[in-house]
Structures are given as C-alpha cells and as structure tokens.
C-alpha cells in the first residue's frame, strides 16, 4: 500500500541562512506577568562552579540494559575476585540500583524498580553455585535468589523510593509549566 506525504514539502529558505533575515528577539514573561526582553543570542548563563558529575538520561529499556549488564559484569568480577561471594554481590547490587534510578529519564522513572530484580537474577547467573548441567545451574539460581532476598528487596526498595520521589517532582514540575 502506498503512503502519501501528509506534510507539504519544505522548499523555502531555512532560518539562519544568509538569504533569510534574522528573527526578532522574543520577550519572556516573569512570574508576576510582566515582560522582560529575551537574552541576547551569544549570552551564556553561568553554570555551577566545580566539576560536573555525569548525568546521563536513559530510556526505560536503556536503564534495564544498563542495570542487567552492570550486574552481570559485577557477578563475573565477584566470581573471579571473591570466589562467588553472594554477600559481596548483594552489596554491589545496591549502588547499581541507585544509579539506575537516578539515570533513567523522568518519564520512564517507574521502570527502575521493575528492572532491578531482573538484573539481580541476570547477574546471579555467574555467581550461583550449581553442578550437573542446566538443572543444577537453575537450582543454584533459585537457591541464590531465596538466600539473598534481603539484598534483592533492599535494592528494589531503594530504587523504588528514588523513583517515586523523582516521579513526584517530575509531575509537579510539569503541572507548574502548564
């Protein structure tokens, strides 16, 4: 089936090219309703002093991939360095949950407590003890999930609280704008 264009072609000159005149500066309103002139084009706002921390914004899928990949790599490192210590793995799970909840976008922030338990299970694969093939490995995974439920609940609760606070702030900001 053929799909037709729904927008007319844009054949005119683009803004900012030498052939088109510059647009006049627009005015902005102050909170009290009075108007103020717009900032000049070249003016830069001063930023906060000091070094800036990374502030990535991940989508819901990206945060899930980040969390799962980080836990899987930490599971391998735990196995190599600490001999598959489940306590070390649980402790490492907490900062990954915090970072996932902080780095996900405002609109997707409620995915952080959902992806945390999935990532915990994914990272537990290299750490879980198991012998005897696939069934032994699965039994080790279930045993690891059961014995480390405290770390799992703690990390998920931490991600959920951070996500809830961020979501409330995001909704309030959007309501103030409209």
Tens digit of each residue's pLDDT (9 = 90 or more) over 53-67: 567 789 999 999 999
Contact 145, 152 (CB under 8 A): yes
The pLDDT assigned to 78 comes to 93
Give residue-wise pLDDT tens across range 71-120. Answer: 999 999 999 999 889 999 999 999 999 999 999 998 899 999 999 999 99
* DSSP calls for the chain: -----SS----SPPTTSTTSPPPPPPEEE-TTS-EEEPPPTT------SSPPPP---B-HHHHHHHHHHHHHHHHHHHHHHHSS-HHHHHHHHHHHHHHHHHHB-STTGGGHHHHHHHHHHHHHHHHS---SHHHHHHHHHHHHHHHTHHHHHHHHHHHHHHHHHHHHHHHHHHHHH-
Q: What is the mean pLDDT of residues 12-32?
A: 60
Q: With beta carbons less than 8 A apart as the criterion, state whether 113 and 175 touch.
A: no
The residue extents of the domains of the chain are 60-177
Q: Determine the pLDDT at residue 92.
A: 95
């Amino acid at each position: 089936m053929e799909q037709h264009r729904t927008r007319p072609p844009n054949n005119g000159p683009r803004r900012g090219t030498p052939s088109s005149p510059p647009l006049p500066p627009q005015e902005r309103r102050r909170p009290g309703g009075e108007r103020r002139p717009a900032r000049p084009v070249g003016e830069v706002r001063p930023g906060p002093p000091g070094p800036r921390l990374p502030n990535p914004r991940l989508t819901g899928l990206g945060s899930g991939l980040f969390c799962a990949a980080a836990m899987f790599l930490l599971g391998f490192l735990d196995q190599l360095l600490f001999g598959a210590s489940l306590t070390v793995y649980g402790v490492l799970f907490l900062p990954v949950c915090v970072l996932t909840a902080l780095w996900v976008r405002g609109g997707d922030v409620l995915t952080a407590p959902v992806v945390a338990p999935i990532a915990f299970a994914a990272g537990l694969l290299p750490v879980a003890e198991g012998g005897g093939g696939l069934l032994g490995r699965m039994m080790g995974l279930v045993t690891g999930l059961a014995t480390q439920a405290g770390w799992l609940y703690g990390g998920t609760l931490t991600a959920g609280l951070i996500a809830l606070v961020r979501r409330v702030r995001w909704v309030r900001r959007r309501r103030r704008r409209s």
